[in-house]
Structure 1
Amino acid sequence: MFSSVAMGLASTGPAYSLAATLGIIVAGVGLQTPVVTVLAFIPMLLVAYAFRELNASNADCGTTFTWATRAFGPRTGWMGGWGLIVANIIVMANLAEIAAAYGFRLVGLDHLADDRAWTTSAGIVWIVLLTAVCYVGIEVSAAVQRCLLLLEMAMLLLFAVAALVRAYSDPPATALHVSASWFNPFEVPSVKALTSGVLAGVFIYWGWDTTFTVNEETVDSTRVPGRAAVLSTVLLLITYALVSTSAQAFAGVGTSGIGLGNADNSDDVFHGLGEAVFGSHDTGLVLSRLLILMVLTSALASAETTILPLARTVLSMAAHKAVPSRFARVHRRFLTPTWGTVGMGAAAVALLILLSSFSQNILADSIDSVGLAIAFQYGLTGFACFWYHRKVLTRSVRDLVFKGVFPALGGLVMLALFLYAAFGVYANPGFGATAVDLPLIGRTGGVTVLGLGALLIGLLLMPLVTRGHTVALKLQRSLLPHRLPQHAAIDTASRYLPADSGSGVGGDWYDVIPLSGTRVALVVGDVVGHGLRAAATMGRLRTGVRVLARLDLSPDELLSRLDDLVEQTAHEQGDGQGPGRPRPRPDEAMGVTCLYAVYDPISGRCSLARAGESLLAVVEPHTGTVDYPRLPPGPPLGVGGPPYQSSELDLAPGSLVALFTGGLIQAADGRAAGLAQLSRILSGDRRSLDEVCDRAVSTLLPGPVDEDATLLVVRTRLLDRSRFAQWALRPDPAAVATIRTAVRKQLGDWEMDDLAFTTELIVSELVTNAIRYVGGPIQVRLIRDRTLICEVSDTGHTTPNLRHAASDDEGGRGLFIIAQMTHHWGTRYTPTGKTIWTEQDLPPADVR
């Protein structure tokens, strides 16, 4: 906790921030400087709550990038991450130059502090040293931060106390007595002055979010970073209010001498105040030098804690495939982002050299442009928190306030500051040190050009970065069922939640496949890989399942055939392997989990088999008891192992069956906790299956997800006894006439006389073949559904083949005639033999 608070405070660089910003605020609002520093705290505190709530839901070192991606999609998330990268690299380059200048002043080499070549060279050395400290580990960095921060805060407190004592005991000519009007915002000269002051004040608070970018390396990562961030902003408020009040009481707001309004001192108010407060002899000289050292260490601490969050944000972006994957590498010994830390240090060095080579004015304006990136990043995080938690805001007053109201207000304030600064203040050609003539716009302030230009570069890069995620998601959605078919056996509802990043979009799929005899197949699967290849693999497997399902295979046999398909594909991909040839990429179908179930609404029996750790829940309709049946284990597809086994469940009418992938319970604290939550949802009294799905998704996955999640919920029905009829026959040729009569009578009862002739012909042909070629007991069944289904079952295991009989053949035309008179026909095998089935389309008036 102490290290987290130290990093949060050190990242803001309190001494440096006050030294560089206090004069700017005074120039805008005068004596109301203390209240402006307090007002700037409010939006920061609101945004800090947004960070805290998002971190509690999902501790990720990518912070704004990750959370905005999950709330609004990969494009918005990329821009949030880019804004953070821009702000940190620019600040790091500027902090290094400031540290170089103060280092020269500390040893009395003031002439070198004003030399661009020397300060640039020394700045590069500082960046290299700080990058090395960050590279060797987070614990070393935290220890350095604690030491630097203690010196900095001690000197700030000493300066504030000494200035107040001098202001009342031995006041200089500029001294003022502290007044309550200094804390009255209504005394500010204008709204424009107030907004400009708050905008400058926001900069002095920026940096506390470092506590969140090291959250994955923090003990109790979901709570400590949030507490440290809020505590950091409160401590900063106390520090800034005290120092600004005491400095103003001692030096006043005049525009000459040591006055805080003196433009010559606006970039470093402490340089002139140090000797004035402490004196220029003996102890006073030492203390004034310590004050300079304090600003130096503040800049160094801030620069170091800029490298830390920057490297970890880039690591998270690399892990989510938003930047090259090499930036996700972590050093085996030091456990720090290797490419991220070194790469960002190199980027800061390059930017420092680039800006210094143009002019000192551009370098000065670049630090002001950071305010735009800060407001953009923080505002986006506030809106992301509100949208991320929108489904749970009504759960309690606390959720409404801390997850909704505070973050949304913080986002709105930051948005207003961003727009006002970009187009109302910084765009003025007179603001800052540079101006640019833009086509169609005219002369524009360099700060706006630099700030918006840096964000525009990210906008131009965004399509290239997010293209993979977009294509994978479109392919994934196009291959899933657009709508589930209506069926006499079940009612269905489903939900598919794609992952929020390119690395997470996988190949989860679900399907509902009508089978012969009003049976229905239910499928849920999960492809191991991610991205475009996983989505394509999902489409291949889903097609394979549908084709095999039409063969009326048992669940265990279907999975065995699908496993053969996966192995064959993997073998074909490896055929080209040889010396000098690249190794083929592994097939994403290897290791796929799949649950395949077939439900029969006539018997109420469900036959299932699984490959891998597939999940299934069954809710008893009368008691609401939720059970997770233990199915026979089966290996994931393509990895080999024991054969697949089918098991059977007897489902009462109205039973609720939920098939889902592991992604549905990924946010819970362990599998047992996730299943317990799901049980409470499924056992509740819900009016519709869509409500069940919505409740499950909003409860188990209140925000977007790391991995795809699929949920298929069905409610079973038994086919009404009046909608089917069945007869048992002996293998006697005389039974053919009997069954023809029975079929004709049943169709008359169903008012389907138009189909009597063809149905009699179909039944007599199939029964005759069973008597002639098989013998044994025969069963005939008629089912009235969306089609008229006729089934003839016998004890034989041979499959009849459709063929074209020659002109001189005496037989062989039966199946050909049946095929011409029916819409579909086929054969399925049962434990006792086989069933030949046919389907005839009903006249429009009979379809219901």
Structure 2
Amino acid sequence: MLSSVVIAMASAGPAYSIAATLGLIVAGVGLQAPIITILAFVPMLLIAYAYRELNASNADCGTAFTWATRAFGPRAGWMAGWGIIVADVLFMTNVAEIAGIYGFRLLGFESLAHDRLWTTVAGIVWIAVMTAICYVGIELSAAVQRWLLCLEIAVLILLAVTALVRAYTSAPPTALHVSASWFNPFEVSSGKTLTAGIVTAVFLYWGWDTAVSVNEETVDSARTPGRAAITSTVLLLVTYGLVSTSAQSFAGVGTSGIGLGNRDHAGDVLSGLGDAAFGSHGAGPFLSRLLILMVLTSAVACTQTSILPLARTVFSMAAHKAVPSQLARVHRRFLTPTWSTVCMGAVSIVVLVLLTLFSGNILADSIDAVGLAITFYYGLTGFACVWYYRRVLTHSARDFVFMGVLPGLGGLMMLVLFFYAAFYVYANPRYNTTSVDLPLIGRTGGATVVGLGALLLGFLLMLVVTREHSATLKLQRNLLPHTLPRVTALEAQSRYLPADSGSGVGGDWFDVIPLSGTRVGLIVGDVLGGGLRAAATMGRLRTGVQVLARLDLTPDELLSRLDDLVEQTAYEPGVGHARAHADEARGVTCLYAVYDPVSGRCSLACAGQSLLMVVEPFTGAADRPRVPPGPPLGMAGPPHESIELQLHPGTVVALFSRGLLQSADTPEAGIAQLARVLADFRRPLRELCDQAVATLLPGPVDEDATLLLARTRMLDQKQFAQWELAPDPAAVAVIRTTVGKQLDDWGLDDLAFTTELVLSELVTNAIRYVGGPIQVRLIRDRTLICEVSDVGHSAPNLHHAASDDEGGRGLFIIAQMTHRWGTRYTPTGKTIWTEQTLPPDRLPPDH
């Protein structure tokens, strides 16, 4: 906790921030500088609460990038991460030059401190040194910061107390007594001035989120970083309030001498203030020199602690494949992000050189540009917190306040500050020390050009970077069923939640497949990996399942055939990336079930671990039937095995992917949550789906999540009839008469001729070629289904009979007179079935 607070405060760089910012604030708002530093604390504290709540749910070093991605999608997440990159890079260019200037002053080389070339060279050296320290490890960084910060705060407090005492004892001509008007924001001359001052003062507090950026390297990562963020902002408020008040009381706000309004000292108010406050006798010169050292060490510390969140944000973006994945490498010994740390240090050096050439006063303009980037990604994080927790805000008053109200207000404040400063304050060329003549716009302030230009560059890069995720998501949704088919056997509802990044989306699929005899197939599958390859693999497997299912294969046989398809794809010749494609298909898990509404029996088989829940229609008790685990597709192992369940009408069956349980502490806890939701099984399936998703996945997801719910039905006994026949030719005439009477009772006498012809042919073939008992069944559903079952295991083949063939024309005639036909195998033989289309006015009432 101590190290986290130290890193957070050191990232804000109290001594450096006061030196570089207090003069700018006073120049803008005058005597109201103390209240401006206090007001800037309010949105920072609110955003710190957003960081704390989001970190408690997802301790990812990508912070704003990760959370905005999970809340709003990869594009918003990319822009949040880019905002962090822009703020840190621009800040390092500023603070490194400050470190160079103060380094020369400490050594007594005042001429070099005013030379742009040498201060830039010194800044480059400081960035390189601090990058090396961050490369070596977070523990070394924290140890260095602890000593530097303690000494820095001690000197600042000593300066504040000395200045305040002297203002009331041996006061210089510029001294003022502390007044209540200094803390009245309504004394500020205009709203524009007030907003500009707050945006500048935001820079004072910025940096505390470094404590959260190193959350994955922190003990108790879910709580300590968030607490450190809030604690550090409060400590910064006390420090800044004391120093700004005492400095203004001692030096005044004049525009000459040691006055804080002197623009010659706007970038460094502490040097002259220290000389005047400590004096030139006794320990005064030593303390003045120590103050310069503190500003130098503060600037150096800021350089180091800016690299930490910058490198870790890029590391997280690389891990989520938002930037090249090479940047996600970790050093084996130091356990720090290697490429991201080195690359971001190099990028900062390049930007320092470019901005030095571009801007006439890099210090002031880059600070303002940093303020725009800060308010942008802080505001986005505040809104992300509200949206991320939107489903749980009403659970308690605490959740409503700390997850909703406070982050929402913080985000709104940051949004107002961003737009007002960017388009009304900083865009004015007279406000900035530099300006640019833009086409169609005219002369614009340098801070707006640098700040918005950097964010615009990130927007253009975002369109390229997120292209694969958008394409994958579009492909995935086009391959999945848009609506589930209406079937007599059951009522079904589904939910599919895509992952929040291209590295996760693409792997899940589900389907409801109408089968012969009013049966229906249900499947939920999960392809390993993500991206376009996983989506393409999913589409290929879903198509394979649909084709194999319509062959009326048993669940275990279908999975065995699908396994063969995966193996064939893995070793397909002529594919340049056969191994990569094979890796996507291997290890696929899926559960396939076939439900028969006539008998109420459900056959199931699974590849991999089954994720199935059955809720009884009388008690609401949830059960997880044990389906024999088969090997995942493409993996060697024992053959797949089917089981059979007897389901009552109204039973709720839930098939789901492992992604549905990803937010639970353990899979068992997630399954228990799902069971509690489904216990209210009488609710409409649509509501059950929504409630299950809201309970198990209150926020966005890291991987695809799929839920398929089905409520079973039994076919009304008035909708089907069946007869047992002996293998006697005389039985053909009997069944023709019996079926004709049944059709007349159903009001389908116009189909009697075709039906009798079909049954005559099928029953005659069964008697002639098979023998044994024969079963005939008629089912009146959306179609008229005729089924003839026998004990034979050889299926007839449809072919064109030659003119001199004695047989083979019967099946051809059947195929021409019916809508479709087929054969399915049973444990005792086979069933040949046909379907005839019914006119709309002859459909059962519920259809």
**TM over 0.5: same fold?**
yes
Does the 8 Å CA contact 2:267/2:363 hold for their aligned counterparts? no
Q: Distance in 1 between matches of 2:581 and 2:686?
A: 40
Does the 8 Å CA contact 1:495/1:712 hold for their aligned counterparts? yes
Q: Distance in 2 between matches of 1:551 and 1:583?
A: 30
Question: C-alpha offsets along residues 762-788 of structure 1, whole Å, 9 cap, x if unaligned?
Answer: 111111111111111111111111101
**Structure 1 residue 672: deviation in Å?**
1.1
Residue 635 of structure 1, aligned match among 631, 638, 656: 631
**Structure 1 residue 281: deviation in Å?**
2.5
Q: Distance in 2 between matches of 1:594 and 1:582?
A: 23
Q: Which amino acid aligns with 1:675?
A: I
* Matched position secondary structure for 1:623: coil
**Structure 1 residue 684: deviation in Å?**
2.2
Does the 8 Å CA contact 1:509/1:526 hold for their aligned counterparts? yes
What is aligned with 1:114?
114
Q: Distance in 2 between matches of 1:438 and 1:662?
A: 53
What is aligned with 1:788?
784
Does the 8 Å CA contact 1:145/1:301 hold for their aligned counterparts? yes
What is aligned with 2:820?
824
Q: Distance in 1 between matches of 2:601 and 2:282?
A: 95
What is aligned with 2:354?
354
User: What percentage of residue pairs aligned between the two structures are identical?
Assistant: 74
Question: C-alpha offsets along residues 498-524 of structure 1, whole Å, 9 cap, x if unaligned?
Answer: 001111112200000000000000010
5+ residue gaps, structure 2, are: none
Q: Distance in 1 between matches of 2:50 and 2:400?
A: 12
What does 1:192-341 correspond to in 2, within 5 Å?
Answer: 192-341=192-341
What is aligned with 1:499?
499
Does the 8 Å CA contact 2:267/2:364 hold for their aligned counterparts? no
* Matched position secondary structure for 1:83: helix
What is aligned with 1:690?
686
Q: Distance in 2 between matches of 1:290 and 1:582?
A: 65
What does 1:51-450 correspond to in 2, within 5 Å?
Answer: 51-362=51-362, 364-450=364-450
Does the 8 Å CA contact 1:686/1:692 hold for their aligned counterparts? no
Question: C-alpha offsets along residues 427-478 of structure 1, whole Å, 9 cap, x if unaligned?
Answer: 1111221111111111111111111111111111111101000000000000
* Matched position secondary structure for 1:255: coil
Q: Which amino acid aligns with 2:709?
A: V
What is aligned with 1:482?
482
Question: C-alpha offsets along residues 727-755 of structure 1, whole Å, 9 cap, x if unaligned?
Answer: 11111111111111111111111111111
Q: Distance in 2 between matches of 1:123 and 1:379?
A: 30
Q: Which amino acid aligns with 1:339?
A: W
What is aligned with 2:829?
833
What is aligned with 1:549?
549
**Structure 1 residue 282: deviation in Å?**
3.0
What does 1:624-773 correspond to in 2, within 5 Å?
Answer: 624-773=620-769
Q: Which amino acid aligns with 1:548?
A: L
Does the 8 Å CA contact 1:590/1:637 hold for their aligned counterparts? yes
**Structure 1 residue 685: deviation in Å?**
4.6
Question: C-alpha offsets along residues 675-733 of structure 1, whole Å, 9 cap, x if unaligned?
Answer: 11111111125521111111111111111111000000000111111111111111111
Is 1:565 the counterpart of 2:561? The answer is no
Residue 591 of structure 1, aligned match among 571, 582, 587: 587
Compared CA separation, residues 537 and 447, structure 1 to 2 (3 A): same
**Structure 1 residue 809: deviation in Å?**
2.5
Q: Distance in 2 between matches of 1:473 and 1:358?
A: 41
Does the 8 Å CA contact 2:29/2:194 hold for their aligned counterparts? yes
* Matched position secondary structure for 1:147: helix
Q: Distance in 2 between matches of 1:332 and 1:192?
A: 52
Q: How many equivalent pairs are there?
A: 844
Residue 601 of structure 1, aligned match among 588, 597, 603: 597
**Structure 1 residue 361: deviation in Å?**
2.4
* Matched position secondary structure for 1:303: helix
Does the 8 Å CA contact 1:65/1:77 hold for their aligned counterparts? yes
Does the 8 Å CA contact 1:254/1:261 hold for their aligned counterparts? yes
RMSD in angstroms over aligned alpha carbons? 1.4
Q: Which amino acid aligns with 1:736?
A: V
* Matched position secondary structure for 2:95: helix
Q: Which amino acid aligns with 1:714?
A: A
**Structure 1 residue 355: deviation in Å?**
2.1
**Structure 1 residue 363: deviation in Å?**
5.5
Does the 8 Å CA contact 1:311/1:337 hold for their aligned counterparts? yes
Compared CA separation, residues 43 and 471, structure 1 to 2 (3 A): same
Does the 8 Å CA contact 1:355/1:363 hold for their aligned counterparts? no
**Structure 1 residue 482: deviation in Å?**
0.9
What is aligned with 2:461?
461
Does the 8 Å CA contact 1:356/1:363 hold for their aligned counterparts? no
Deviates more, 1:804-813 or 1:227-236: 804-813
* Matched position secondary structure for 1:15: helix
Q: Distance in 2 between matches of 1:123 and 1:36?
A: 30
Q: Distance in 1 between matches of 2:114 and 2:610?
A: 68
Q: Which amino acid aligns with 1:268?
A: D
Q: Distance in 2 between matches of 1:294 and 1:608?
A: 72
* Matched position secondary structure for 2:449: helix
Q: Distance in 1 between matches of 2:578 and 2:789?
A: 54
**Structure 1 residue 810: deviation in Å?**
2.7
TM-score under structure 2 normalisation? 0.98
TM-score under structure 1 normalisation? 0.98
Q: Which amino acid aligns with 2:617?
A: P
Q: Distance in 1 between matches of 2:289 and 2:231?
A: 30
Question: C-alpha offsets along residues 89-136 of structure 1, whole Å, 9 cap, x if unaligned?
Answer: 111121111111111111211111111221111111111110111001
Does the 8 Å CA contact 1:599/1:605 hold for their aligned counterparts? yes
Question: C-alpha offsets along residues 331-360 of structure 1, whole Å, 9 cap, x if unaligned?
Answer: 111111111000000111111122223454
Q: Which amino acid aligns with 1:219?
A: V
* Matched position secondary structure for 2:629: coil
Compared CA separation, residues 824 and 331, structure 1 to 2 (3 A): same
5+ residue gaps, structure 1, are: none
Does the 8 Å CA contact 1:787/1:839 hold for their aligned counterparts? yes
**Structure 1 residue 585: deviation in Å?**
5.2
What is aligned with 2:42?
42
**Structure 1 residue 366: deviation in Å?**
2.4
Deviates more, 1:57-66 or 1:652-661: 57-66
Q: Which amino acid aligns with 1:67?
A: W
**Structure 1 residue 201: deviation in Å?**
1.0
* Matched position secondary structure for 1:618: strand
**Structure 1 residue 286: deviation in Å?**
1.0
Does the 8 Å CA contact 2:83/2:455 hold for their aligned counterparts? yes
Q: Distance in 2 between matches of 1:194 and 1:459?
A: 30
* Matched position secondary structure for 1:780: strand
Q: Which amino acid aligns with 2:382?
A: G
Compared CA separation, residues 582 and 766, structure 1 to 2 (3 A): closer
Q: Distance in 2 between matches of 1:768 and 1:786?
A: 27
**Structure 1 residue 367: deviation in Å?**
2.8
Does the 8 Å CA contact 1:604/1:651 hold for their aligned counterparts? yes
Q: Distance in 2 between matches of 1:755 and 1:403?
A: 65
Q: Which amino acid aligns with 2:3?
A: S
What is aligned with 2:794?
798
Q: Which amino acid aligns with 1:515?
A: L
Does the 8 Å CA contact 2:570/2:579 hold for their aligned counterparts? no
**Structure 1 residue 584: deviation in Å?**
5.7
